[in-house]
Amino acid sequence: MIKRMRIPACFLAIIFLAGLLIFSPHQGVIAQDDLDNDGILDLKERQLESLYVPYLHFAAGEKFFPTVVSYHIDNSVLYLKSSDTDTLIDSSPTIASISLYQTGDYYLDNVLGASEEIAEDYEQKKEGLGYTVYSRVTLEGEYFVIQYWFFYAFNLGSLNQHEGDWEMIEIVLDPTETALYAVYSQHFSGERASWNDVEKVDETHPRVYVALGSHANYFRQYQGKLGLENDVVGNAFTLEPDDLQLVLLGEKGSGNHPPSQDWLEYGGKWGNWAELADISLGGTGPRGPGHGENAEKWSDPISWGSDAFFVNQTWFTLSFVAFNFLYIFAGIIAILAAIKVWRIVKRKRQGKLNLMKIMRSKWSVGVVLGIVGIALYLVALFLPWYVVRGNIQTTLLESVGETDLVLIDGVNGLRVNTLQSDQGLTQLFGLGIPFAIILLTSVVLNLLDLIGVEKAKSLSRTYIMSGITSLIPVIIVLVCIILLTGLITPFANAMGGGTVPTQIDEMAKEMASSPITGEYRDTLDSYGILRISWGLGIGSYLFIAAAITKLAAGIIVRKAVGTEKQETKENQKS
């Protein structure tokens, strides 16, 4: 007869607990796993991932939100670009298949069509897709870096437009896991702010204000007006952490991530690539995390973040002023105009409004001339101030005959032609208000001074000062052109371009030495012919004419006043 062994209850409990430690996916042995082999336990990565997940704020009118990469892959075909030849490699790419193509010569082209068709399809599927954010926790030295990568199906930026868009923010922690600073990607670079200057929810979740169309990331909802691109940010729609599907990324390399993340090995572009020049103009789909322009963000995140533009409360104050410039400016002008109107009313009551009297005197010629100067100035506000035209016929860039390359005026500020399809001129800098409106107020104030004139001498002083200030737009434009030599290389770097050709530097120097008008012709290495002409626009010449006219009017009135005083003295003596 076999005797049954009685197992103590306490021993059974110990066995049960040991089983939990062994097989639980979040505890014990499994909890000590480091499946991506990066030296950080998976449980620690999940803790940090959840602790710092951001709040994403979007401006009104945004059409694309962070989504899963498979949405783009499923709608694309894979091409190989060699010079100007595009070869179809895979008509039905998958996450697994694209991982085999690890160089930058490949690109995923969305077959849905242009931005309108992609936006329509995305809108129909958005609810089912949800909102996906790819997180990554890594170590650089003793510092933790928590990254959040966002993929958008399309970039509708004002400066460049392309299929696919990768953006990223990162938070850097010291060895004690104390947050030091955050870095937000913007276009071809980014901004860095100390952790104390970052807007947060519950002390750890940073607020990210995503620019309309371009998806550049900002620290404040009033930023976007002091950078290279005239971005629009806002807070019309918010994605909170609970709205986001977090996907914790492994590392690149075989065995360092699950098969569902094999797309990390793909080295090509996540969007269309029509022309060779598109890559330097920001008109192609970007390369993914760890590749191309995103390689340093992945392999040396602290180094990349350290090179980003540092912003603080001073910069935020300037951004606030720029964002609210219209209201601030309107308030100042309203106060000045109110003071002048009050003076007009006061002088009318006192019978000291002498405009009609002056118009009937010998000073009338000067008064009329001053009015003509004001009219010339008014017309100049809405005409081109500076124009750069060119005929570019190269293998990298090609214009349709001679076309406007750079145009400065009072309505749109500074605009450039990136020669991307039919995009035309694109605004680079702006204050949310046409410059012409700013300068138009000086016309209004001048007219109020004219209406309220009491003495001809004060009218003369007004004309002379107005004549001098009429030259300010021309002076500012010429100074910008003279400084062009120093701006070419930084601009090319900001656009993601490489080395600036020698001929471009030579052209910039010629423009700087002869900014009023000039022309440059040369062969751009082996690429083709470059013919550029530049000069002041008709608006600038009208500013100069207005200045001369007003100064002449001021001198005539002042001379007439002096003559009258001399005649009065002589009459008194006689």
Q: pLDDT for 116-128, tens place per residue?
A: 999 999 999 999 9
What 8-state DSSP symbol labels residue 8?
Answer: P
Q: Answer with the residue of higher pLDDT: 435 or 471.
A: 471
- Across 157-243, the runs of DSSP E, i.e. the strands, are 161-173, 179-186, 189-194, 200-201, 205-210, 217-218, 237-239
pLDDT value, residue 185: 95
Residues 385 and 495 in one domain: yes
What are all long-range contacts of 171-179, with beta carbons under 8 Å and residues at least 24 apart? 171/52, 171/145, 171/146, 171/195, 171/206, 172/143, 172/144, 172/145, 172/301, 172/302, 172/305, 173/48, 173/143, 173/144, 173/145, 173/146, 174/142, 174/143, 175/142, 175/143, 177/48, 177/144, 179/52, 179/204
Domain end (from 271, 286, 321): 321
Residues 364 and 293 in one domain: no
pLDDT value, residue 508: 81
Is 2 inside any structural domain? Answer: no
Residues 316 and 350 in one domain: no
- pLDDT by residue (tens digit) across 86-102? 999 999 999 999 999 99
| pLDDT-based confidence at residue 429 (cuts at 50, 70, 90) | low
Residues 108 and 206 in one domain: yes
| pTM of the complete model | 0.76
Residues 241 and 356 in one domain: no
Residues 308 and 363 in one domain: no
Q: Answer with the residue of higher pLDDT: 28 or 441.
A: 441
Is 204 inside any structural domain? Answer: yes
What whole-number distance in Å separates Cα of residue 51 and Cα of residue 413?
43
Residue with tokens 């059974």: 12
Interior angle at CA 153, CA 428 and CA 113, nearest 5: 95
Is 49 inside any structural domain? Answer: yes
- Mean local confidence (pLDDT), 526-545: 84
pLDDT value, residue 395: 53
Is 4 inside any structural domain? Answer: no
Q: Answer with the residue of higher pLDDT: 353 or 362.
A: 353
- pLDDT by residue (tens digit) across 471-480? 988 998 888 7
Number of domains comprising the chain: 2
Q: Is the pLDDT of residue 104 over 90?
A: no
Is 338 inside any structural domain? Answer: no
Domain end (from 290, 321, 352): 321
Residues 100 and 209 in one domain: yes
Domain end (from 321, 352, 378): 321
Residues 311 and 428 in one domain: no
Mapping DSSP to helix (H, G, I), strand (E, B) and coil, where does residue 391 land?
strand
Is 197 inside any structural domain? Answer: yes
Residues 413 and 285 in one domain: no
- If one counts every other C-beta atom within 10 angstroms of the C-beta of residue 169, the result is 24
Residues 294 and 392 in one domain: no
Q: Where are the alpha helices (DSSP H) in 77-156?
A: 95-98, 115-129
355-394 core/surface letters (b: 16 or more CB in 10 A; e: else): eeebeebebeebbebbbbbbebbbebbebbbbbbbbbbeb
Is 28 inside any structural domain? Answer: no
Q: Answer with the residue of higher pLDDT: 286 or 157.
A: 286
- Mean local confidence (pLDDT), 9-13: 48
Mapping DSSP to helix (H, G, I), strand (E, B) and coil, where does residue 158 land?
coil
For residue 526, what are the domain limits? 344-573
Q: Answer with the residue of higher pLDDT: 558 or 293.
A: 293
Lowest average pLDDT, out of 357-361, 404-408, 430-434, goes to 430-434
Q: Is the pLDDT of residue 277 over 60?
A: no
Q: Is the pLDDT of residue 82 over 50?
A: yes
Residue 397 has, within 13 A of its CA and on its CB side, a CA count of 21
Residues 212 and 262 in one domain: yes
Is 162 inside any structural domain? Answer: yes
- pLDDT by residue (tens digit) across 457-472? 788 888 888 889 889 8
Residues 307 and 201 in one domain: yes
